[in-house]
Homo-oligomer: A and B are copies of this chain.
Amino acid sequence: MPAGELRQSESSEAEAEQWLWAQIKAEARRDAESEPALASYLYSTILSHSSLERSLSFHLGNKLCSSTLLSTLLYDLFLNTFSSDSSLRAAAVADLRAVHERDPACVSFSHCLLNYKGFLACQAHRVAHKLWIQSRRPLALALHSRIADVFAVDIHPAARIGKGVLFDHATGVVVGETAVIGNNVSILHHVTLGGTGKAGGDRHPKIGDGVLIGAGATILGNVKIGEGAKIGAGSVVLIDVPARTTAVGNPARLVGGKEKPSKHE
């Protein structure tokens, strides 16, 4: 991408972030007025901050701190990382939009920012991943551990995750070290992207753009799930799944797609 286009893209990303942050503040003001019991919480978490990255860093620091990993240390770590990497901020904006668009139970952007453990775990993972590729592995793993304890979401810091990703409900999600998740993927709770235990090295699934993975699905091994594929709830997938194809069952079989008539939908 030429430098001019890059600047334009960054500029429109910054505008999208500004617009979203204004929405979130307006929602928080409305909620604080209608619910005095939440006013102090909403002030400290959203309304007192000057940007989405500051609010998110404060909220994650509070959620993930412990008596030995202080919230101030985590706040500084999150804020420095979000401030220095606009792609992390753009990913957070895309994830907020994805939740708002795809989950009928999501009532507002601030609802997602404050309350969705899948959204929060994913943003904290993005920071852990950045630390991992900077070779700050002990800190990345400490953060990974706190995310797994607090949210019951266990994403290895080396795993690569695209933008516009929805982790719905999120409890029990496990994503292995060499897994890759594309853009605009939706993943329900209790989903495992794991290894078969028979190989080291590159041993985890590769999930294409726009894939939907139902609750409790287990995908094991270095298999490829093609763009727009759907994996049924409770499936155990040990094979490649072609693009725009549905896989269901234990073990999973292909039941629909471009070439096969769908039995599932």
Which residue numbers of A lie inside 8 Å of B, CB to CB? 31, 34-35, 37-38, 40-41, 44-45, 62-63, 65-69, 71, 73, 77, 104-105, 107, 111, 114-117, 136-139, 141-142, 144-145, 148-152, 154, 156, 169, 171-172, 174, 176-177, 186, 188-190, 192, 194-195, 197-198, 200, 203, 212, 214-216, 218, 220, 232-236, 248-251, 265
With A35-B136, A41-B69, A139-B35 as contacts: A215 and B194 at CB distance below 8 Å:
yes
Chain B residues closer than 8 Å to A176, beta-carbon distance:
105
Cα separation A83 to B176 with both chains bound (whole Å): 36
Cα separation A174 to B79 with both chains bound (whole Å): 32
* Complex contact B139–A192 (CB within 8 A): no
Closest chain B residue, CB of each to CB of A220? B233
Closest chain B residue, CB of each to CB of A186? B197
* Complex contact A154–B189 (CB within 8 A): yes
Partner of A38, one of B142, B151, B172, B234: B142
Known: A149-B150, A154-B189, A235-B250. 5 other contacts (CB 8 A): A152-B172, A190-B190, A190-B192, A216-B216, A250-B250
* Complex contact B34–A138 (CB within 8 A): yes
Closest chain B residue, CB of each to CB of A157? B105
Q: Sort A-B residue pairs by CB-CB distance and give the 8 closest, nearest first.
A: A115-B145, A31-B138, A234-B236, A104-B200, A218-B233, A152-B152, A41-B68, A192-B215
